Structure 1
Amino acid sequence: MLITPAVIIDYDIMINNLITTQRECDKRGINLRPHFKAHKTPLLAEIQERIGAIGFTTAKLSEAELLKEEGFKDIIVAYPIVTQSNVSRLRELSEGIKVGTIVDSYEGVDVLNNGFEGSKLDVYIKIDTGLNRCGLKSSDDIIAFAKNIKLKRNLNLIGLLTHAGHSYKCSSLAEVMNIGQSEGKILLDIKNKLKASGIHIREISVGSTPTLNFVIDVQGVTEVRPGNYIFNDNTQLALRTSKMDNCALTVKTTVISKKESGFIIDAGAKTLGLDKGTHGSNILEGYGKILEYPEAQIVGLSEEHGFVNSQKQPEIGGVITLIPNHSCVVMNLAPRVFLNKNNKLENIENKGRLLNY
C-alpha cells in the first residue's frame, strides 16, 4: 500500500513532454539546456540528455557540483558568482568539464577574472528583460560593460542570457506570447549593437517554460533553458501554457478528517510548498488542483495538513490526487519520489533535494 503523501511522476507523460520540446528545438536548430532545479534528479537529467539536451542549467553551485559528480560535462551556473569562496568552487567545478556562468556587475567580473588566473572562463552577460531581478537592462551601458569583460584575460564573453520569469504574472496567453517574443528580440537587438561596436558574441540564451513555445520562433535565438516543462503544474494550467494531459507530476494524499465545509488531507506546506504562483505572482487561488473533486479548493496549509473546502466529501482514509501549484518546489521538498512506469511504482532518488548553496 502506498504511504502518503507521495509524489508520483507519470513516466509516459514526462517522456512525451521531453520529446515534444526537444523535437521543436531540433527543428529550429536551437540547443536545449534544461534547468536542473526543476527536478534535481540525476536520473531524470540522464533521460533529458539521452533525448537530446546539450547540457544543463543550474541555479546554485551545489547543483552543478552534483551534476559533475554524476558524470555530466556541460553546465551553466545561471547565478551571479560574486564571492571569492564561490569563485574557488566554480574553478574547481570547471576542471575537466565545460562550465559557464553569468555576470551583471563590474565587481562580479573582477572577482571571476582574479579567481581564474591562468585559466579561461566562459561568461554570459545577464540581461533583465522584465523580471526586475538580476541583470542589466537594455537601457544600461551594456557596450561599456562588454568592453570591460573583453579586457579581462581570464574571461571569455560568449553570449547574452535572460530569464523571462515575469511571464508567470500574465493574465492571458497573448501576454505570454508577447513576452516570449520580446525576450528574444531584446537580446538580439543588444547583440547587434555590440556587433556594431566590434564585439561579437555567439550565444543568445533564453529560458522560461511559459514563453518556450513562442521564443523558439524568434530567429537568432541559439539556446533555451526551460525547467518546469518536464512536469508542468497548476501554474502552467492557469497560464494556459499546458493542458491537464501534460501534467506529469501529481501528489497522492489521504483524507484524514472531515469538516462541515470540507475535509483535511495529509499533504501540507512541507509537501506542497506555499506558492500561489511563481516569482510571487499570486495568480492562483488555493494550493493545488484536486483531480477527483475539481470544484474543491485547498484553501490553507499547515505544515502537515491541507484544508479543503468542498461540497462533496470523500471517505476518511480515501486517497485523492492533486496537481501541485509548483512542481519544482515539490521535488525540492520530497524525501521520496515515485516513477510510475508500466503501472509499476519505482522509488527514485532526487539527490539534489534541498541543495541551495
Structure 2
Amino acid sequence: MDIESLDTPAVVIDLDRVDANLAAAQRYADEHGLALRPHVKTHKLPWIAHRQVALGAVGITAQKIGEAAVMVAAGIEDVLLSYPLVGETKLEPLARLARATPRLAVALDNDVSLDLVGRAASEAERTIDVLIEFESGRLRTGVVAPDEALPLAQAIDAHTHLRLRGFMTYPLGAGAGDWVREARSVLARHGLEAPVFSGGGTPGMWHAHEMPGLTELRPGTYAYHDRATVAAGAGRLDDCALHVHVTVVSTPERGRAVIDAGSKTLTSDTVAASVGAGYGLVLEHPEAVITALSEEHGVLDVSACERPPRVGDRVRIVPNHVCPVSNLVDVVTVHRGGSLHGVWPVAARGTTR
C-alpha cells in the first residue's frame, strides 16, 4: 500500500523530516551548550521520544502525569512535568510515577502544589527535583516577582525528599534572563542555589542562546512543525512532517468545495491574520481557504484557485497548530520517502490528567 491508497482523513508523518528536525535542534543545542529537553505533547509517541534522547536530549518534558507515565512505561528515564499539580487525586498517580521514574522533576508556582509534591515524594520515598515556574510574558502560570520565589525555594530546600533545581518559564520573554539573575541573587543571600534555567518553546528556539543564563531548552512543535511555526520563522514549509490527507467530497457550487475533515481532525485553532486565513494550508491549492469547520466537514473557498479541486481529489493540509491534531487521532501513518513504514498508535493520546 502506498500513501495515495490510504483511507481519509489520515494523519501522515514523514519520518525523514522528523529525523531532520530532531537532528537540527540537537545540533543547535549542542553548539550553544544548552541541554535539550523536548516536549512530547506534540507527538505523544514513545518512538520519537526515544529518538530525541538517542540524539542527545537530556530527557523529556510532559504536561500531565498520564502523558509522562506512558513515556516512562516505554523506557524514558528522565522527565520534567511542566504543568502545575493540584488536587488530592494527583497524589497517588504522582507517587507511582516517582517510583517508576529514575529522574523526575516538577514545576510549580504555589505552596499548595508544593505540599502535594512533597507528600507524593515522601510516600514514594524518592527525591523529586523542583523547578519554580515564573511568568515571562504569556500571563498564565508562574510567580511574577523574583522575591516570590524565595519562600517556595526555602520550603523545597527544607523538605527531605525534594531538591531545588532552578527556574522554568514559558515561553521565553525578553526579560526572563534578568528575572532569573535577580531571583538567583535573592536566593543566594539565603544560601540557596538554583542552577537550572529552563525555557521554551519552538517559535523562538533558534534565538534561545541569546537569553542570558539559559541552561535548558524545551521546544515541542519542532518535531513536526506547522503553519504557525513556519510563520514564526522556526521552520520552513518543507520541514513540516505532519500532513492531514483528505478527500474532496463535494463541490456544491462554483468557488466552494467540501473535504472530509472538520474540527474533529484539524482542530479549530487559527493563526494570526498576518499568517494567513483559514484552518490550515492546502498544499496542492495554496490559494484555497478553509473557511469553516463543523465536526466532519471542512468548507473551502476555492474561488481564487486557477484549477479548483474536484470531487474525489485528494489533498494535503498543513495544520495551523499540529499539537492538538496528534491528540485527536488514535493512529498515525508513518512513511519514509513515500513508502509506508507503519501505522502507529498515538500512545499518549487523551492523557489530559
Counterpart of 2:347, as a letter, is: K
Residue 196 to residue 239, structure 1, CA distance change in 2 (3 Å)? same
Counterpart of 1:98, as a letter, is: R
Listed one character per residue, the Cα deviations across residues 270-308 of structure 1 (whole Å, up to 9, x for unaligned) are 100011149xx9975210001111111000001111000
* 2:40 equivalent among 36, 39, 47: 36
- Paired residues for 1:1-357 under 5 Å: 1-96=5-100, 97-117=102-122, 118-138=125-145, 141-164=148-171, 181-258=174-251, 259-277=253-271, 285-311=277-303, 312=305, 313-345=308-340, 346-357=342-353
Counterpart of 2:73, as a letter, is: E
Alignment partner of 1:101: what SS? Answer: strand
Listed one character per residue, the Cα deviations across residues 28-62 of structure 1 (whole Å, up to 9, x for unaligned) are 22111111111001111121111111111100100
Relative to the length of structure 1, the TM-score reads 0.90
Which shifted more, 29-38 or 107-116? Answer: 107-116
- Give the gaps of 5 or more residues in structure 1: 165-178
- Give the gaps of 5 or more residues in structure 2: none
Check the 8 A contact 2:91/2:119 in 1, yes or no: no
- Cα drift, residue 183 of structure 1: 3.1
Using the aligned pairs only, state the percent identity. 33
Check the 8 A contact 2:205/2:234 in 1, yes or no: no
Alignment partner of 2:113: what SS? Answer: helix
Listed one character per residue, the Cα deviations across residues 98-131 of structure 1 (whole Å, up to 9, x for unaligned) are 1110121111222222332254221110111111
Listed one character per residue, the Cα deviations across residues 206-250 of structure 1 (whole Å, up to 9, x for unaligned) are 111012111223342111111001011011123233221211111
Check the 8 A contact 1:127/1:135 in 2, yes or no: yes
- Cα drift, residue 181 of structure 1: 4.4
- Cα drift, residue 187 of structure 1: 2.5
- Cα drift, residue 151 of structure 1: 2.4
Alignment partner of 1:141: what SS? Answer: helix
Residue 90 to residue 105, structure 1, CA distance change in 2 (3 Å)? same
User: CA separation in 1, counterparts of 2:67 and 2:318?
Assistant: 25
**Structure 1 vs Structure 2 CA RMSD:** 2.0
Residue 184 to residue 245, structure 1, CA distance change in 2 (3 Å)? farther
Residue 48 to residue 132, structure 1, CA distance change in 2 (3 Å)? same
User: CA separation in 2, counterparts of 1:8 and 1:344?
Assistant: 12
Residue 282 to residue 356, structure 1, CA distance change in 2 (3 Å)? farther
Alignment partner of 1:274: what SS? Answer: coil
User: CA separation in 1, counterparts of 2:244 and 2:344?
Assistant: 15
Aligned length: 341
User: CA separation in 1, counterparts of 2:346 and 2:174?
Assistant: 34
Alignment partner of 1:37: what SS? Answer: coil
User: CA separation in 1, counterparts of 2:181 and 2:298?
Assistant: 46
User: CA separation in 1, counterparts of 2:167 and 2:313?
Assistant: 51
Relative to the length of structure 2, the TM-score reads 0.91
Residue 14 to residue 115, structure 1, CA distance change in 2 (3 Å)? closer
- Cα drift, residue 91 of structure 1: 1.5
Alignment partner of 1:38: what SS? Answer: coil
Check the 8 A contact 1:252/1:320 in 2, yes or no: yes
User: CA separation in 1, counterparts of 2:330 and 2:86?
Assistant: 31
- Cα drift, residue 140 of structure 1: 5.1
Listed one character per residue, the Cα deviations across residues 323-348 of structure 1 (whole Å, up to 9, x for unaligned) are 00111111111223111213212212
Listed one character per residue, the Cα deviations across residues 239-267 of structure 1 (whole Å, up to 9, x for unaligned) are 23322121111111101100333200111
- Cα drift, residue 319 of structure 1: 0.3
Alignment partner of 2:210: what SS? Answer: coil
